[in-house]
């Protein structure tokens, strides 16, 4: 089993590549829930949803979030009624939140609901939240203490981040199976997600960091920074605000105690010589499906995981 830790967009791209190379039963994706929140009475899990939509081929390539073939009648009507519309929820996307919320209220765990949605959407590999208990990212900023979506969506990541906390993490338990899967894994992959707000909330669930540190499996992380820049999102800005160098090296050092292998873009690999992990240089920008497959293959090869040599790719749009 390959266990991949993932946030939303960057992580889901690599997870999609891995899903094309591995038998579905051989891949477990552990999703960040620090971005989750309750909004308009609905339970929303943005990173789980990005993974579900991306692996189901339903992601919205124009927006970079949400579902494709989306319509916005509910948001337009809500706006006319004076409701809150700063967090955009498309009509089809809303259906997933309605289904999830109803099942959670009926007493199902987030793991069980996520698994049910995964099956309904025809996604092969399993996706599990890091924890079924609420873990909520909160940021101390120059505009005060902010809940994650207030920072990320409502304020467009403009506030300067001073510190990051994960409310509920200390009391949370890892989702069933995750710790055992890590202990027995062939490899653990830390996807190219934001280390501070996508991967750290996963590692903050008691037992998960220790399980990754202890597993005999190789732990491979992929840099979300390329040439000192984030492909998307606030990773670079946040690192600067936290007083870190905005480099792949600083990402590798952030994970230092966990890593066996660090995969970075060839442009960055030279500056990584003394990091305490084996450095693998590979193109890490994933624009197309072949890019995702090539990086997933490089990651698996770096971890010593055998994959079939030729995998015909149907379509290259994503
Ligand atoms: P979010 O929860 O949707 O913000 O998702 P993630 O944390 O998974 O993704 C954001 C991170 O993914 C940013 O740090 C980006 O630099 C990184 N990212 C996005 N696309 C790519 C890519 O094609 N290659 C690499 N290496 N990183 C990427």
Q: What are residue 138's DSSP bridge partners? A: 147, 165
Note the CATH architecture for domain 2-223+290-302.
3-Layer(aba) Sandwich (3.40)
**pLDDT digits over 160-184, tens only?**
999 999 999 999 999 989 999 999 9
> Phi, psi at residue 154, to the nearest 5°?
-60, -40
The pTM of this model reads: 0.95
**pLDDT digits over 45-91, tens only?**
999 999 999 999 999 988 989 999 999 999 999 999 999 999 999 99
Could you give the CA distance from residue 114 to residue 241 in angstroms, rounded to a whole number? 34
Residues in contact with ligand 1 (CB, 6 Å cut-off)? 7-11, 13, 35, 47, 50, 192-194, 198, 222-224, 226, 230-233, 235, 284-286
Ligand 1 atom closest to the CA of 231, numbered from 1: 16
**Average pLDDT score, the chain:** 95
Asked if the model's pLDDT at residue 193 lies above 70, the reply is yes
Q: Which of 162, 45, 145 shows the shortest CA–CA distance to 97?
A: 45
Closest CA to ligand 1's atom 2:
8
Give residue 214's pLDDT band: very low, low, confident or very high (50, 70, 90): very high
For helices 91-105 and 46-56, give the axis angle rounded to 10 degrees: 120
Where are the chain's structural domains? Answer: 2-223+290-302
Q: Say how many Å lie between the CA of residue 285 and the centre of ligand 1.
A: 10
For 162, residues 6+ apart whose C-beta sits below 8 A from its C-beta are 139, 140, 141, 142, 241, 242
Q: By the 8 A CB rule, do 165 and 200 touch?
A: no
């Amino acid at each position: 089993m390959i266990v991949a830790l993932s946030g939303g967009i960057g992580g889901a791209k690599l997870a999609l590549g891995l899903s094309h190379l591995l038998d579905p039963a051989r891949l477990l994706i552990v999703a960040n829930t620090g971005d989750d929140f309750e909004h308009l009475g609905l339970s929303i899990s943005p990173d789980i949803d990005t993974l579900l939509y991306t692996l189901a081929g339903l992601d919205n390539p124009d927006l970079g979030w949400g579902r494709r073939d989306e319509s916005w009648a509910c948001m337009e009507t809500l706006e006319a009624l004076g409701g809150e519309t700063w967090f955009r929820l498309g009509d089809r996307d809303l259906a997933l939140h309605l289904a999830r919320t109803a099942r959670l209220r009926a007493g199902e765990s987030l793991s069980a609901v996520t698994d049910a949605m995964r099956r309904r959407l025809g996604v092969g590999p399993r996706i599990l939240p890091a924890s079924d208990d609420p873990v909520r990212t909160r940021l101390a900023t120059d505009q005060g203490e902010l809940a994650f979506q207030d920072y990320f969506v409502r304020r467009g990541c403009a506030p300067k981040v001073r510190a990051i906390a994960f409310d509920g993490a200390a009391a949370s338990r890892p989702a069933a199976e995750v710790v055992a899967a890590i202990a027995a894994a062939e490899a653990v992959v830390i996807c190219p997600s934001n280390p501070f707000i996508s991967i750290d909330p996963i590692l903050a669930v008691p037992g998960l960091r220790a399980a990754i540190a202890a597993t005999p499996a190789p732990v491979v992380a992929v840099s979300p920074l390329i040439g000192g820049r984030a492909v998307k999102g606030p990773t670079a800005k946040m690192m600067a605000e936290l007083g870190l160098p905005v480099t792949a090296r600083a990402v590798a050092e952030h994970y230092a105690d966990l890593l066996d292998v660090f995969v970075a873009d060839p442009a960055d690999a030279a500056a990584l010589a003394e990091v305490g992990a084996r450095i693998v240089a590979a193109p890490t920008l994933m624009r197309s499906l072949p890019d995702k497959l090539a990086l997933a293959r490089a990651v698996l090869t770096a971890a010593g995981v055998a994959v079939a040599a030729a995998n015909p790719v149907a379509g290259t749009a994503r």
